[in-house]
Structure 1
Amino acid sequence: MNIESIINGLWDYKWDISTDPSKDLEASTLLLENDELVFSRFPTDIYTLDRYPFQIVDNRKFEESNIFYEKSLENKNLADVYKKEEEKFIRVFQILWSNSSVYIETTLQYKNIESIITAVSDEAKKNRIRDLHNKLSSRNENMLEIQDFIDLQLLLELGLREQVSSVFIFETIKLCFWSNFDLNMPVYSGSKSNTELLRLICTTEGLYLR
């Protein structure tokens, strides 16, 4: 797979991130560790997929209302709320996956696998994550082409739970999502029509694109 071509195709090859002099020369990933470069290059094409229709600017109110995975482990009621919110993201991604080829740039191969799989309880899921880790490690790669939705779901869950950073590239519809930002995700959209489609999907599933 030509990683650079897949990524640069998001913006119709108008810019080559791999040769940009401002990119992080120490980075082992293209999109993950150069996210701010992408955001600054395409400021009008960057959105946020979020639980809220606006950014909560009052830090005290944000801390009180924010739900994240580690916090949910301390409270059964919060755990139920977190799971319901996480499932909204999963449903959005499943709809998008059904209409696009998907690639994921991920830090999974660099992680201690036995540590991160504690974030999932299902043994079959743990084994699937081990398989993905082994696949990436054996090839010394950080990019996966997704065929089965379960692999996309697992890396999304690990990202939302702040265990593994990943970038989800929906090649056909020119959408790109960065994980590891609690229950919100920065989004690049290279198509106005697909931006509106994503907005409709998000609203239908109880999320917001802002």
Structure 2
Amino acid sequence: MIIEDIGKFFESNSKKLDKISNVEWKIAIKKCEKHLFFKLMNKTKYGAHTVENLGIPAKDYYLEYAYSSIIDGFWEWKDSFDLTEQLIRIIDSRISTVVKSYKNAKENDEKREEEGKYPLKTVIRSQDIENTFYNLRSEDEVDETELLAIEDDYNKIELFVNESKDDDIKTFWECTKEGYKRAEIAEIMEVTPKQLDKIKEKFLRQTRKQIEKNGN
């Protein structure tokens, strides 16, 4: 590591890091991942937190930024915070900075377009609903009627989940939309895979009932 890569808090942070075990690191990272899951929920498909804007997936970007900020001493690890708390504070600060920078760039581009100039940054637009939700690029084309029916069911589920007071239902649905696997969802929800299966059954039973209730 060359001197330019070391922040002014490198020495003080290193003294604290020497007392941190691998297990404590793993616990802190897991808690940060869970924090990011809820912080970035439904915000990585377009806008400031896309791969196009950050260069890598948002979760990896913010975890790497927080980790290196502590390790390399560019952020002070304050005595009043434990490792997890300090990492989360860095993550939240970076998220705010990225969002502000993205908005400023977008506003500058809009102003340049009004002035008849080329934009400096391409605004990433969200994909249409067909590509985003249904992955319909298969050999068998789905007709418009079927697509509308799928979309209608999706909207009914969204409405049901938004109105639900059951946190398990809400979290399970968001995890499913993000494409997490069974083991990953169980870990995020802090339940066993078997307990997750029960939550899934409850979700399917209640959403099916809701769809039938609304005349599908």
The TM-score, its normalising length taken from structure 1, stands at 0.23
Q: Which has the higher helix share?
A: 2
Q: Which has the higher strand share?
A: 1
The TM-score, its normalising length taken from structure 2, stands at 0.23
Q: Which has the higher contact order (CA 8 A, sep 6+)?
A: 1
Work out which of the two has the higher radius of gyration on C-alpha atoms and give 1 or 2.
Answer: 2
